[in-house]
Copies of this chain bind each other. A is one copy, B any other.
Amino acid sequence: MAIRLGENNYGKQRVRILQVTRHTDRHEIRECTLGIRLEGDFETAHTMGDNSKVLPTDTMKNTVYALAKQQRIDSPEAFGLRLADHFLSTQAQVSRACIEIQETLWSRFAVNGQAHPHTFTRSGEEKRIAQVVASRSGRTLYAGVEGLVVLKTTDSEFEGFVRDKFTTLKEDHNRILATVVRANWLYRTEKTEFDGTWKGVRQGLLEAFAAHNSKSLQQTLYAMGKVVLESFPSIQEIRLSLPNKHYNLLDLAAFGMENAKEIFLPTDEPHGLIEATLRNE
Protein backbone atom coordinates (compact mmCIF):
# COMPACT_ATOMS: atom_id res chain seq x y z
CA MET A 1 0.00 0.00 0.00
CA ALA A 2 1.09 3.55 -0.71
CA ILE A 3 -0.18 6.83 0.64
CA ARG A 4 -1.28 9.31 -2.00
CA LEU A 5 -2.42 12.90 -1.81
CA GLY A 6 -5.91 13.16 -3.29
CA GLU A 7 -8.17 16.17 -3.87
CA ASN A 8 -6.87 19.28 -2.14
CA ASN A 9 -7.49 22.99 -2.06
CA TYR A 10 -6.48 25.96 0.03
CA GLY A 11 -7.50 29.56 0.37
CA LYS A 12 -8.87 32.33 2.51
CA GLN A 13 -12.27 32.46 4.18
CA ARG A 14 -14.30 35.30 5.73
CA VAL A 15 -12.62 38.08 3.77
CA ARG A 16 -14.83 41.09 4.42
CA ILE A 17 -15.22 44.28 2.45
CA LEU A 18 -17.51 47.32 2.36
CA GLN A 19 -17.54 49.37 -0.81
CA VAL A 20 -18.86 52.93 -0.74
CA THR A 21 -19.76 54.70 -3.96
CA ARG A 22 -20.05 58.43 -3.39
CA HIS A 23 -22.36 59.95 -5.99
CA THR A 24 -23.06 63.67 -5.70
CA ASP A 25 -26.62 63.23 -4.56
CA ARG A 26 -26.44 59.90 -2.77
CA HIS A 27 -24.05 57.20 -1.57
CA GLU A 28 -24.35 53.51 -2.34
CA ILE A 29 -22.88 50.64 -0.35
CA ARG A 30 -22.20 46.98 -0.91
CA GLU A 31 -20.90 44.70 1.86
CA CYS A 32 -19.57 41.25 1.06
CA THR A 33 -17.84 38.33 2.75
CA LEU A 34 -15.72 36.17 0.46
CA GLY A 35 -14.29 32.71 0.46
CA ILE A 36 -11.53 31.75 -1.98
CA ARG A 37 -10.30 28.22 -2.73
CA LEU A 38 -7.58 27.33 -5.19
CA GLU A 39 -6.68 23.94 -6.62
CA GLY A 40 -3.61 23.13 -8.67
CA ASP A 41 -0.06 21.88 -8.57
CA PHE A 42 0.40 21.84 -4.80
CA GLU A 43 1.56 18.28 -4.18
CA THR A 44 5.10 19.13 -3.08
CA ALA A 45 3.76 21.79 -0.72
CA HIS A 46 2.06 18.96 1.14
CA THR A 47 4.68 16.25 0.81
CA MET A 48 7.91 18.26 0.99
CA GLY A 49 7.08 21.63 2.50
CA ASP A 50 7.97 23.28 -0.80
CA ASN A 51 6.20 26.67 -0.81
CA SER A 52 7.60 27.84 -4.14
CA LYS A 53 4.17 27.55 -5.82
CA VAL A 54 2.10 28.65 -2.85
CA LEU A 55 0.49 32.06 -3.16
CA PRO A 56 -0.14 33.13 0.46
CA THR A 57 -3.76 33.26 1.56
CA ASP A 58 -2.93 36.71 2.87
CA THR A 59 -2.27 37.75 -0.73
CA MET A 60 -5.69 36.40 -1.74
CA LYS A 61 -7.21 38.73 0.82
CA ASN A 62 -5.19 41.68 -0.52
CA THR A 63 -6.29 40.78 -4.03
CA VAL A 64 -9.93 41.20 -3.04
CA TYR A 65 -9.23 44.73 -1.89
CA ALA A 66 -7.06 45.66 -4.86
CA LEU A 67 -9.47 44.35 -7.47
CA ALA A 68 -12.38 46.13 -5.77
CA LYS A 69 -10.38 49.36 -5.95
CA GLN A 70 -9.40 48.87 -9.60
CA GLN A 71 -13.03 48.53 -10.67
CA ARG A 72 -16.06 48.77 -8.44
CA ILE A 73 -18.03 45.67 -7.47
CA ASP A 74 -21.11 45.84 -9.67
CA SER A 75 -22.56 42.56 -8.44
CA PRO A 76 -21.30 39.59 -6.42
CA GLU A 77 -21.57 37.49 -9.57
CA ALA A 78 -19.41 39.80 -11.71
CA PHE A 79 -16.86 40.31 -8.95
CA GLY A 80 -16.59 36.56 -8.41
CA LEU A 81 -15.88 36.06 -12.11
CA ARG A 82 -13.19 38.77 -12.02
CA LEU A 83 -11.48 37.24 -9.00
CA ALA A 84 -11.47 33.75 -10.48
CA ASP A 85 -10.01 35.10 -13.72
CA HIS A 86 -7.30 36.94 -11.84
CA PHE A 87 -6.00 33.83 -10.09
CA LEU A 88 -6.16 31.66 -13.20
CA SER A 89 -4.43 34.25 -15.39
CA THR A 90 -1.65 35.21 -12.98
CA GLN A 91 -0.89 31.87 -11.28
CA ALA A 92 0.03 29.17 -13.77
CA GLN A 93 0.09 26.49 -11.07
CA VAL A 94 -3.60 27.07 -10.27
CA SER A 95 -5.98 24.80 -12.19
CA ARG A 96 -9.24 25.73 -10.53
CA ALA A 97 -10.49 28.73 -8.57
CA CYS A 98 -13.67 28.65 -6.48
CA ILE A 99 -15.01 31.98 -5.27
CA GLU A 100 -17.93 32.20 -2.87
CA ILE A 101 -19.46 35.56 -2.05
CA GLN A 102 -22.10 36.32 0.57
CA GLU A 103 -23.61 39.76 0.35
CA THR A 104 -24.91 41.39 3.52
CA LEU A 105 -28.03 43.25 2.47
CA TRP A 106 -28.65 46.87 3.41
CA SER A 107 -31.78 48.94 2.74
CA ARG A 108 -31.72 52.67 2.19
CA PHE A 109 -33.37 54.42 5.11
CA ALA A 110 -36.38 56.62 4.38
CA VAL A 111 -37.61 59.72 6.21
CA ASN A 112 -41.22 60.63 5.42
CA GLY A 113 -41.04 58.45 2.34
CA GLN A 114 -37.89 60.24 1.14
CA ALA A 115 -34.82 58.10 0.51
CA HIS A 116 -31.97 59.24 2.74
CA PRO A 117 -28.75 59.95 0.80
CA HIS A 118 -26.31 58.14 3.08
CA THR A 119 -28.05 56.13 5.82
CA PHE A 120 -28.85 52.43 5.60
CA THR A 121 -30.43 49.77 7.82
CA ARG A 122 -29.56 46.07 7.77
CA SER A 123 -32.07 43.87 5.96
CA GLY A 124 -32.07 40.96 8.35
CA GLU A 125 -29.87 37.91 8.26
CA GLU A 126 -30.85 37.00 4.71
CA LYS A 127 -27.84 36.89 2.36
CA ARG A 128 -27.42 37.11 -1.37
CA ILE A 129 -24.85 34.61 -2.58
CA ALA A 130 -22.76 33.97 -5.65
CA GLN A 131 -20.45 31.08 -6.45
CA VAL A 132 -17.96 30.79 -9.29
CA VAL A 133 -16.05 27.64 -10.13
CA ALA A 134 -13.55 28.34 -12.88
CA SER A 135 -10.85 26.41 -14.67
CA ARG A 136 -9.01 27.13 -17.93
CA SER A 137 -11.57 24.98 -19.78
CA GLY A 138 -14.71 26.71 -18.53
CA ARG A 139 -16.59 28.10 -15.63
CA THR A 140 -19.90 27.75 -13.85
CA LEU A 141 -21.76 30.54 -12.12
CA TYR A 142 -24.34 30.09 -9.38
CA ALA A 143 -26.32 32.82 -7.65
CA GLY A 144 -28.54 32.34 -4.67
CA VAL A 145 -30.17 33.43 -1.49
CA GLU A 146 -29.98 32.00 2.02
CA GLY A 147 -31.59 32.81 5.35
CA LEU A 148 -34.85 33.98 3.77
CA VAL A 149 -37.47 33.17 6.42
CA VAL A 150 -41.10 32.84 5.32
CA LEU A 151 -44.27 31.54 7.01
CA LYS A 152 -47.89 31.01 6.00
CA THR A 153 -50.74 30.37 8.39
CA THR A 154 -52.96 28.30 6.11
CA ASP A 155 -53.17 26.56 2.70
CA SER A 156 -50.86 23.81 3.91
CA GLU A 157 -51.80 20.21 4.64
CA PHE A 158 -49.98 16.91 5.11
CA GLU A 159 -52.09 13.80 4.71
CA GLY A 160 -52.10 10.34 3.12
CA PHE A 161 -48.52 9.56 4.11
CA VAL A 162 -46.93 6.19 4.90
CA ARG A 163 -47.68 4.83 8.36
CA ASP A 164 -45.37 2.24 9.91
CA LYS A 165 -45.14 0.88 13.44
CA PHE A 166 -43.28 3.98 14.65
CA THR A 167 -45.63 6.53 13.10
CA THR A 168 -47.58 8.67 15.57
CA LEU A 169 -48.05 11.86 13.51
CA LYS A 170 -51.67 12.87 12.90
CA GLU A 171 -52.88 14.00 9.52
CA ASP A 172 -53.24 17.75 9.33
CA HIS A 173 -55.31 19.51 6.70
CA ASN A 174 -54.57 23.03 7.89
CA ARG A 175 -51.14 23.51 9.34
CA ILE A 176 -48.64 26.34 9.53
CA LEU A 177 -45.87 26.11 6.96
CA ALA A 178 -42.60 27.89 7.67
CA THR A 179 -39.16 27.58 6.15
CA VAL A 180 -35.82 29.31 5.68
CA VAL A 181 -35.22 29.39 1.96
CA ARG A 182 -31.79 28.48 0.62
CA ALA A 183 -31.74 28.56 -3.16
CA ASN A 184 -28.86 28.30 -5.61
CA TRP A 185 -29.43 28.66 -9.29
CA LEU A 186 -27.05 27.91 -12.16
CA TYR A 187 -26.83 30.46 -14.93
CA ARG A 188 -26.87 29.23 -18.50
CA THR A 189 -25.15 32.43 -19.56
CA GLU A 190 -23.05 35.13 -17.95
CA LYS A 191 -24.83 37.72 -20.10
CA THR A 192 -27.46 38.21 -17.43
CA GLU A 193 -28.63 41.32 -15.63
CA PHE A 194 -27.62 39.89 -12.26
CA ASP A 195 -29.23 42.37 -9.86
CA GLY A 196 -32.59 42.36 -11.59
CA THR A 197 -32.64 38.59 -11.97
CA TRP A 198 -31.75 38.10 -8.32
CA LYS A 199 -34.64 40.29 -7.19
CA GLY A 200 -36.99 38.57 -9.61
CA VAL A 201 -36.05 35.07 -8.49
CA ARG A 202 -36.38 36.01 -4.83
CA GLN A 203 -39.83 37.50 -5.38
CA GLY A 204 -40.87 34.55 -7.56
CA LEU A 205 -39.88 32.06 -4.87
CA LEU A 206 -41.89 33.92 -2.25
CA GLU A 207 -44.93 34.37 -4.49
CA ALA A 208 -44.96 30.67 -5.32
CA PHE A 209 -44.69 29.80 -1.64
CA ALA A 210 -47.56 32.18 -0.81
CA ALA A 211 -49.88 31.08 -3.61
CA HIS A 212 -49.38 27.33 -3.31
CA ASN A 213 -52.07 25.05 -1.87
CA SER A 214 -49.52 22.79 -0.29
CA LYS A 215 -49.96 19.06 0.15
CA SER A 216 -46.36 18.80 1.41
CA LEU A 217 -43.24 20.91 1.56
CA GLN A 218 -41.88 18.70 -1.25
CA GLN A 219 -44.72 19.83 -3.49
CA THR A 220 -44.26 23.47 -2.50
CA LEU A 221 -40.53 23.23 -3.19
CA TYR A 222 -41.28 21.91 -6.65
CA ALA A 223 -43.77 24.71 -7.32
CA MET A 224 -41.21 27.29 -6.21
CA GLY A 225 -38.45 25.90 -8.40
CA LYS A 226 -40.77 25.50 -11.40
CA VAL A 227 -41.83 29.15 -11.33
CA VAL A 228 -38.21 30.25 -11.37
CA LEU A 229 -37.22 28.02 -14.28
CA GLU A 230 -40.30 29.05 -16.27
CA SER A 231 -39.79 32.77 -15.65
CA PHE A 232 -36.04 33.02 -16.17
CA PRO A 233 -34.69 31.28 -19.29
CA SER A 234 -31.16 32.32 -18.31
CA ILE A 235 -31.38 29.85 -15.42
CA GLN A 236 -30.58 26.22 -16.18
CA GLU A 237 -31.16 24.62 -12.82
CA ILE A 238 -32.11 25.54 -9.28
CA ARG A 239 -31.32 23.76 -6.03
CA LEU A 240 -33.62 24.35 -3.10
CA SER A 241 -32.92 23.39 0.51
CA LEU A 242 -35.97 24.01 2.69
CA PRO A 243 -36.04 23.16 6.39
CA ASN A 244 -39.54 22.49 7.70
CA LYS A 245 -39.57 24.77 10.74
CA HIS A 246 -42.32 23.17 12.78
CA TYR A 247 -44.85 25.33 14.60
CA ASN A 248 -46.68 22.76 16.73
CA LEU A 249 -50.28 23.29 17.83
CA LEU A 250 -50.33 23.43 21.63
CA ASP A 251 -52.77 21.10 23.38
CA LEU A 252 -54.59 23.19 26.01
CA ALA A 253 -57.17 20.53 26.93
CA ALA A 254 -55.55 20.09 30.35
CA PHE A 255 -56.64 23.66 31.15
CA GLY A 256 -60.16 23.09 29.83
CA MET A 257 -59.39 25.18 26.76
CA GLU A 258 -59.81 24.41 23.10
CA ASN A 259 -57.04 25.68 20.83
CA ALA A 260 -58.71 26.61 17.57
CA LYS A 261 -55.38 26.89 15.73
CA GLU A 262 -54.59 30.07 17.63
CA ILE A 263 -51.59 29.22 19.82
CA PHE A 264 -48.52 27.41 18.46
CA LEU A 265 -45.13 26.40 19.78
CA PRO A 266 -42.28 27.58 17.50
CA THR A 267 -39.41 25.08 17.48
CA ASP A 268 -35.88 25.03 16.11
CA GLU A 269 -35.16 21.35 16.60
CA PRO A 270 -35.77 18.79 15.36
CA HIS A 271 -36.72 20.06 11.93
CA GLY A 272 -37.55 18.48 8.62
CA LEU A 273 -35.31 19.18 5.64
CA ILE A 274 -36.44 18.92 2.02
CA GLU A 275 -33.87 19.29 -0.76
CA ALA A 276 -34.18 19.00 -4.51
CA THR A 277 -32.74 20.22 -7.79
CA LEU A 278 -34.95 21.15 -10.74
CA ARG A 279 -33.51 21.40 -14.24
CA ASN A 280 -34.71 23.00 -17.43
CA GLU A 281 -33.46 20.53 -20.03
- Measured CB to CB, the residues of A under 8 A from B are 1-22, 27, 29, 31, 35, 37, 42, 45-59, 61-63, 65-66, 68-70, 72, 90-91, 106, 109, 111, 116, 118-126, 148-155, 158-169, 176, 206-207, 209-211, 214-216, 218-219, 221-222, 225-226, 229-230, 233, 237, 243-244, 247, 250, 252, 254-255, 257, 259, 261-281
Q: Give the CA-CA distance A279 to B106 in the complex, in Å.
A: 32
Q: Give the CA-CA distance A151 to B123 in the complex, in Å.
A: 12
* Most chain B CB neighbours (cut-off 10 Å) among A70, A250, A277: A250
Closest to A63 in B: B166
Using A124-B123, A125-B124 as known contacts, say yes or no to A12 and B273 having CB atoms under 8 A apart: yes
Report whether A121 and B69 are in contact in the complex, using a CB–CB cutoff of 8 Å: no
Closest to A72 in B: B262
Residues of B within 8 A of A244 (CB): 57
Using A125-B125, A255-B66, A270-B12 as known contacts, say yes or no to A51 and B216 having CB atoms under 8 A apart: yes
Using A124-B125, A152-B118 as known contacts, say yes or no to A278 and B54 having CB atoms under 8 A apart: no
Q: Give the CA-CA distance A62 to B255 in the complex, in Å.
A: 9
Residues of B within 8 A of A29 (CB): 151, 153
Which residue of the partner chain, among B161, B230, B273, contacts A55 with CB atoms under 8 Å?
B161
Q: State the Cβ distance, A152 to closest chain B Cβ, in Å.
A: 5
Residues of B within 8 A of A70 (CB): 257
Report whether A166 and B49 are in contact in the complex, using a CB–CB cutoff of 8 Å: no
Some 22 contacts from A to B, beta carbons below 8 A apart, are A1-B280, A1-B281, A3-B225, A14-B269, A17-B266, A20-B261, A22-B261, A46-B218, A46-B221, A51-B159, A51-B162, A51-B215, A52-B162, A56-B158, A57-B273, A59-B167, A62-B255, A65-B252, A66-B255, A69-B259, A109-B150, A122-B124
Residues of B within 8 A of A12 (CB): 270-273
Q: Give the CA-CA distance A35 to B271 in the complex, in Å.
A: 10
Q: State the Cβ distance, A165 to closest chain B Cβ, in Å.
A: 7
Report whether B160 and A51 are in contact in the complex, using a CB–CB cutoff of 8 Å: yes
Q: State the Cβ distance, A1 to closest chain B Cβ, in Å.
A: 5
Q: State the Cβ distance, A250 to closest chain B Cβ, in Å.
A: 5
Which residue of the partner chain, among B225, B252, B266, contacts A31 with CB atoms under 8 Å?
B266
